[in-house]
């Protein structure tokens, strides 16, 4: 438990984190007015619940958790959430040659910075991110735009490390599939060309 900050201290918390919290909510909702309202609600709720903040995580991850939960509640009221069945990350995937291979979770932690150098591609990716199912959108935004670690994402979303990796794999697979037509028109080998821009390769 942390001591409740003074108004001046909490003003600093707002100043340091407002843009980050707003950016996450806006990317999840795609509505500026809704994002502004929920960002304000996030900080109001955070101030009221400050006694529950144990200081075991960074303030911004705690704020993200509040923001994501408020966004989920808003989307539920708006009737825009969808529940879809997905596959397990532990299941092998069949290659084009017919053999079984383990799935690999690639690290796109810096992908937006690399890919948005191409304005058209960056805009296309941002548009496709908005079309992802909600839980996929959350992990993409927190990892690839906000650069949170897998552990931090787990704290924000209240799920296991394995669940984070699984959702991230599925989300990136969906994005790659949507981007293939665009990339095919820009290169003879779209997948290889695309992955060359990904870090760690």
pLDDT of residue 7: 76
What is the CATH class of 7-78?
A: mainly alpha
At 66 the pLDDT is 96
Q: Which residues does 125 contact at the CB level (< 8 Å), separation at least 6?
A: 112, 115, 116, 175, 179
Higher pLDDT, 2 or 136: 136
Whether residue 16 has pLDDT greater than 90 = yes
Per-residue pLDDT at 170 exceeds 60: yes
Contact of 86 with 46, CB cutoff 8 Å:
no
pTM value surpassing 0.75: no
- For the chain, give every residue range classified as CATH 1.10.1740.10: 7-78
pLDDT tens digits along 103-112? 444 444 344 4
Q: Does the pLDDT value for residue 199 go beyond 50?
A: no
Of the segments 10-14, 77-81, 127-131, 163-167, which one has the largest average pLDDT value? 163-167
User: What is the pLDDT of the chain when averaged over all its residues?
Assistant: 77
HSE toward the beta carbon, residue 159, CA cutoff 13 A: 15
pLDDT in the model for residue 4? 65
| pLDDT score for 187 | 60
Listed in order, the ranges of the chain carrying CATH 1.10.10.10 are 93-196
Res 2: pLDDT: 54
For the domain spanning 93-196, the CATH number is 1.10.10.10
Mean pLDDT of 35-54: 91
């Amino acid at each position: 438990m942390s001591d409740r900050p003074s108004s001046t201290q909490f003003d600093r918390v707002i100043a340091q984190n407002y843009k980050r919290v707003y950016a996450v909510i806006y990317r999840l909702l795609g509505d500026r007015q809704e994002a502004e309202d929920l960002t304000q609600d996030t900080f109001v709720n955070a101030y009221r619940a400050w006694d529950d903040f144990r200081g075991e995580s960074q303030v911004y991850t705690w704020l993200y958790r509040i923001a994501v939960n408020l966004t989920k509640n808003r989307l539920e009221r708006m009737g825009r959430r969808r529940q879809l069945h997905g596959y397990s990350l532990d299941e092998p995937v069949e290659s084009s040659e017919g053999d079984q291979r383990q799935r690999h979770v690639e690290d796109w932690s810096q992908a937006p910075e690399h890919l948005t150098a191409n304005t058209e591609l960056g805009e296309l990716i941002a548009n496709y991110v908005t079309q992802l199912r909600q839980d996929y959108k959350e992990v993409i935004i927190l990892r690839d735009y906000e650069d949170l670690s897998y552990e931090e994402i787990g704290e924000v979303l209240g799920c296991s490390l394995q669940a984070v990796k699984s959702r991230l794999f599925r989300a990136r697979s969906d994005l790659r599939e949507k981007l293939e037509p665009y990339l095919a028109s820009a290169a003879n080998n779209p997948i290889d060309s695309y992955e060359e821009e990904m870090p760690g390769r």
